[in-house]
Amino acid sequence: MTNKFIKALLATTLFVLVLLTVHAIHMTVFRVSVVFYAAIGDALIASVICGTLVLFVSSFRIFSSFEKLQLIVIWLLSGYAFAISVPTVIDRSLSFYILEKIQQRGGGIRQDAFEQVFTREYVKEHRLVDVRLTEQLESGTIEVVDGCVSLTSKGNMIATFGRYYRTHWLPKRRLLMGEYSDDLTDPFKNSSVKYEYICN
């Protein structure tokens, strides 16, 4: 049992090293359309490489077929957790941006200036519109025709699900700057409607 645990630990350590190597090469050498999808691909590649080793290298014969399958599933899940928790969060996170921006500005920003920071700096510095539209195009949830961005049937289905989940399952008493509110369960309720940007 101890020998199996040590070999499983060694194999998993190898998986982590392979994953980080594949990820580093992918992110620095190759073209990437969507960071999350690329990181998921890296996890799959690392799982295939390490899974092949576990299946065919004689020193791993100590594991049964089921145990080998378990290791591969654990690696796939770990790779998914890495993809969504590290590169994707750092790439997309407004929370990271806030910390980095405060650091960039010498360690402090007036609280009343954050709306300006988000609208004038964040959107431009992170090419937020380009990034998000690219992600949605690559996901097949929108299409752009003659300058008009519209939902595909897949996008409409996901938007409907997201709206339902937000309305019924997000917290009704969420702490927002010292007050508990349900504002984010329906962020459109106080939204001013501007019809000039709707496609004809």
Q: Where are the domains of the chain?
A: 2-91, 93-188
At 191 the pLDDT is 76
Give the pTM: 0.79
Could you tell me how far CA 169 lies from the centroid of its own chain?
21
What is the average pLDDT across 112-121? 91
What is the average pLDDT across 133-155? 94
Confidence of residue 133 (pLDDT cuts 50, 70, 90): very high
Give pLDDT tens digits for 162-185. 999 999 998 999 898 899 988 888
One DSSP character per residue, 107-148 reads S---GGGHHHIIIIIIHHHTTHHHHHHHHHHHHTSEEEETTE
